[in-house]
Amino acid sequence: MGAAIWMYLKVFLVGGLLCVLGEVLILKTKFTPARILVAYITAGVFLSAVGLYGPLVSFAGAGATVPLTGFGHALAQGVLHAVQENGILGAFTGGLTATAGGITAAIFFGFIAAVLFRPKPKT
């Protein structure tokens, strides 16, 4: 029981800190949300490439894999794995192969939301 609570706490704190950092960037800088999202993905790729994001994933689990930095980490790990298996061609195919499930889910649930709800124009 105590181990589960500790894991939930780690997930909440790491994921929460990543979200707080994004909110601070939105409120205190002139970066657009789109640029912040791209920066998060790029940071995940970079931190994964230098070997720093893997230990964070091992420590925090979903707290590190669910935010967009985790998507960047998955891209980088997919490319590394595919390059080892397929050579240089894996650099072009590995990222999409590793993240295909998440991309498919985003498209599917976005479509379902578009079908079920009627958007209202801003006034």
**Six-digit token string for 35:** 């640029």
* Single-letter amino acid code for the residue at 75: L
Q: How confident is the model at residue 11 (pLDDT cuts 50, 70, 90)?
A: very high
Q: Which tens digits make up the pLDDT trace of 43-90?
A: 999 999 999 999 999 999 999 998 899 999 999 999 999 999 999 988
At 118 the pLDDT is 84
Cβ–Cβ under 8 Å, residues 47 and 14:
no
